[in-house]
Structure 1
């Protein structure tokens, strides 16, 4: 996915093994993904949009 340059939203539901959202950080930082277009539920890690803005791309221990 490293070639992906445009992304306008993320909706993940039930991806129980998905825990690292580092890839999506650049889309949060450049404003392509907003709080309204970010939804992650029932995954291995469920970062809020604020978590992503705070660069908490993986679960903090």
Structure 2
């Protein structure tokens, strides 16, 4: 139908649990960063790639 090999579909299907686990780890990391930031009363500013995590979940 879509012009894709079956192996592509099954490869994607098999990767879904890994993607979900990685997303959960990212969410946990963001929660931890927010806790640390709140505990420091905002004294620390996040820079670089970590900032993307915090901004993405806002």
Report the TM-score when normalising by structure 1: 0.27
Point out the structure with max Rg over C-alpha.
2
More strand by share: 1
More helix by share: 2
Query: Relative CO higher for 1 or 2, CA cutoff 8 Å, sep ≥ 6?
Result: 1
